[in-house]
Amino acid sequence: MLAYRHAFHAGNHADVLKHTVLAAVLHHMNLKDKGWRYIDTHAGAGGYSLQGDYAKKRAEFEQGIAVLMDKTDLPAPLAELVRLVREFNGNKGLIQYPGSPAIARALMRPQDQLRLYELHPTDHKILDSYMAEVPGVEVKQGDGYASLKSQLPPTTKRGVVLIDPPYEIKTDYLRVLGALREALERFPDCVVIIWLPQLQLVEAAQLPQRLKAAADAGAKKGWLNARLTVAQADARGFGMLGSSVFIANPPHTLHDELQPVMPYLAQALAQFDGARSALERSAKA
C-alpha cells in the first residue's frame, strides 16, 4: 500500500492533464474575494526532482511536461501550467516538477486554506518540511479519504477537493466513489476533482460511469469528464493508456477552456497513432 512513489511518474501526461484542470479551477475560485479551502487527499511530496533516480528511471516527464515547455502555440490553460512550472523552477529550466500542493500554494491567497493529507512517511516528511510553515496550510499524515468528515463544508462554503490515489490496490476504486458521494452529501456545491487511470481493468472501466451517476444524484452543477488517451497496451495488455479527470460541480467556464486543450494534448503527447481525447459533460454542467 505504501510502495507507490509518484516521483517515478512526475510530470507525465497524467500530471499535465490533472494540473491543467486544477490550475483552471483555482483561477476560477480566485475570481471571488471570499476564501476557499483546498483538500488534497493524496498530496504526495509536494514537488519532485526530475534529476533524481526516481524520475530518471522512466523519464516519463520527457513525454509529458517537457514536450510543452518551449511551445509557442499553447492554449491558455496549458500556457498557465507551463508558467507555474517555470516559476517553481525559478525560471532556470526544467529541474523540478510541482505536485498538486505546489500548484495550489502558487495560486492561494491570504484568505485561502490548504489541507494536505499523505500516508507515505517519506513523502509526508518532505511535504511537511516544504509546506507546514506556510500560513493557511495544514499538512497531516493520515487517510485522506477519512479527512472529508472534518473538512467539509468549509466555513466560507467554497471548497475544492482533489482525489488522486495511485489505484495500486483495487479498493481505491470503491473508496474514490465513496469519497465523492460523501463530499457531495456534506457539501453539494463542492468542486470535486478526481484523477482516473486508463487501464485494462474492469474496475477502471466501470468507475467513470459510477462517478457520473453519483454526481448526477448529488452535485448541484453536474459533472465534466476530460479523457486523454496517449499510449497503447503492451503485448500482455498491461500499461496505462492515458487518464481522465472527472470534475463534479465544474466551474461554468471550464468546458470551454478545455475544448482546445484536449485535442492539443492528444496530438502533442501522442505515443502512438491512435492518440485521442474526449470531453463530456452532463446537462447541468
How does residue 55 score in pLDDT terms, banded at 50, 70 and 90?
A: low
CA distances, 141 to each of 36, 45, 125, 185 (Å): 22, 11, 9, 25
Please provide residue 140's backbone torsions phi and psi, each rounded to the nearest 5 degrees: -135, 140
**pLDDT (0 to 100) of residue 238:** 66
pLDDT higher than threshold 60 for residue 223: yes
Catalytic residue among 164, 172, 189, 234: 164
Contacts of 61 (CB under 8 A, 6+ apart): 10, 11, 12, 50, 55, 94, 97
On whether the CB atoms of residues 48 and 126 are closer than 8 A, the answer is no
> From 3.40.50.150, 3.40.50.620, 3.90.1150.10, 3.90.226.10, which CATH number describes the 6-281 domain?
3.40.50.150
In this structure, what C-alpha cell is assigned to residue 109?
A: 491567497
Query: Do 126 and 40 contact (CB within 8 A), yes or no?
Result: no
Specify whether 164 is catalytic: yes
Q: In the chain, what are the domain boundaries? A: 6-281
Cα–Cα distance, 218 to 222 (Å, whole number): 8
Is residue 4 scored above 70 in pLDDT?
A: no
pLDDT, tens only, 100-130: 999 999 999 999 999 999 999 999 999 999 9
Contact 199, 211 (CB under 8 A): no
Q: For all residues of the chain together, what is the average pLDDT?
A: 94
